[in-house]
Amino acid sequence: MLKIRNLHAKIDDKEILRGINLDIKPGEVHAIMGPNGSGKSTLSAVLAGNEAFEVTEGEVTFNGKNLLDMAPEDRSREGLFLSFQYPVEIPGVSMVNFMRTALNEHRKYRGEAPMSASDFLKLMRDKKNLVEIDSNLTNRAVNEGFSGGEKKKNEIFQMAMLQPKLAILDETDSGLDIDALRIVANGVTKLKSPENATIVITHYQRLLDYIVPDHVHVLYKGRIVKSAGKELALELEEKGYDWIKKEFED
């Protein structure tokens, strides 16, 4: 589904991704861990098409298409979803209006007619229940004045609405209280299917207790320096990153 080959990216002449390789198949869950500033969010931003970063080398194919050639909105419409580490506030634009526009753009891209208002509202209700998001939040402007945890829940709600093929969850667990973590993680699990895949970026094992990864990767200084099964996350939790850093420097 997603093939990353030797991906390099920079910002202001500072190289941040320095040769990433990664293969993700339908149905898989990949966890990406790594110390602060190692390039995890940068990788998700580059995959989502943030033009602030310049790709200097490498290839990415998504369902057989050249991802790097696509406009960010087309990547979304092709089924790539990013749950932002820091969701953005858009004052004055209601969640309902925002989601309806987004959903209809996706439908248009697939050659489908816009969804009727009543079908849309029903869909919203169903998905709100799934992530147990407060009804008031969807009546407000996009993320405006939302608490940190509410913003994260709102990301998962949007993911549920758009039903992506590949979801990248960038530290979706940070800022969530214990109950919210369980709700959000269960929501993500419910959305899983053999056809779609998930990249979970996190610092903690607790999220991976709910969303069990098939593969765990460690990103360090812009490269994936270690990949293994779910036991790697437990090992990292126990030992930290020093041993990997050391292994890498050697």
Ligand X SMILES: Nc1ncnc2c1ncn2[C@@H]1O[C@H](COP(=O)(O)OP(=O)(O)OP(=O)(O)O)[C@@H](O)[C@H]1O
Number of residues this chain uses to bind Mg ion (CB under 5 A): 3
- List the single partner that 37 binds among ligand X, other proteins, Mg ion, none, CB under 5 to 8 Å by kind: ligand X
- List the single partner that 81 binds among Mg ion, other proteins, ligand X, none, CB under 5 to 8 Å by kind: other proteins
Between 140 and 182, whose beta carbon lies closer to other proteins?
Answer: 140
Q: Does 41 bind Mg ion (CB under 5 A)?
A: yes
- Minimum distance of ligand X from residue 143's CB (angstroms): 18
| CA gap 18, 223 in Å, rounded | 6
Between 14 and 110, whose beta carbon lies closer to ligand X?
Answer: 14
Between 88 and 178, whose beta carbon lies closer to other proteins?
Answer: 88
Between 12 and 249, whose beta carbon lies closer to ligand X?
Answer: 12
| CA gap 216, 226 in Å, rounded | 8
What torsion do the CA atoms of 196, 44, 88, 101 make, to the nearest 10 degrees?
A: -40
Here the tokens at position 219 are 């990103």
| CA gap 204, 159 in Å, rounded | 22
Q: Does 141 bind other proteins (CB under 8 A)?
A: yes
| CA gap 99, 142 in Å, rounded | 9
Between 59 and 73, whose beta carbon lies closer to other proteins?
Answer: 73
Interaction residues for other proteins, span 120-139 (CB under 8 A): none
Number of residues this chain uses to bind other proteins (CB under 8 A): 34
Q: Which helix (H) or strand (E) holds 62?
A: strand 54-62
Alpha carbon distance, N-terminus to C-terminus of the chain: 33
E-strand spans in the chain?
Answer: 2-11, 14-24, 29-33, 54-62, 65-66, 80-83, 90-94, 141-142, 166-170, 197-201, 215-220, 223-228
Interaction residues for other proteins, span 178-237 (CB under 8 A): none
Between 82 and 161, whose beta carbon lies closer to Mg ion?
Answer: 82
Chain position carrying tokens 């869950």: 29
Task: Indicate the residue whose CB is closest to Mg ion.
Answer: 41
- Minimum distance of ligand X from residue 112's CB (angstroms): 35
| CA gap 233, 212 in Å, rounded | 10
- Minimum distance of ligand X from residue 61's CB (angstroms): 22
Q: Is 216 exposed, middle or buried (0-12, 13-18, 19+ CB in 10 A)?
A: buried
Q: Which stretch binds other proteins (CB under 8 A): 72-80, 121-129, 183-191, 198-206?
A: 72-80
Return the SS3 of 78.
coil
Residues binding ligand X (CB under 6 A): 11-12, 14, 16, 34, 36-42, 52, 85
Chain position carrying tokens 């405006």: 144
Residue 220: CA count within 13 A, CB half-sphere: 15
Question: Where does this chain bind Mg ion (CB under 5 A)?
Answer: 40-41, 85
Question: Where does this chain bind other proteins (CB under 8 A)?
Answer: 48-52, 71-73, 75-77, 81-82, 84, 87-94, 97-99, 101-103, 105-106, 109, 141, 158, 162
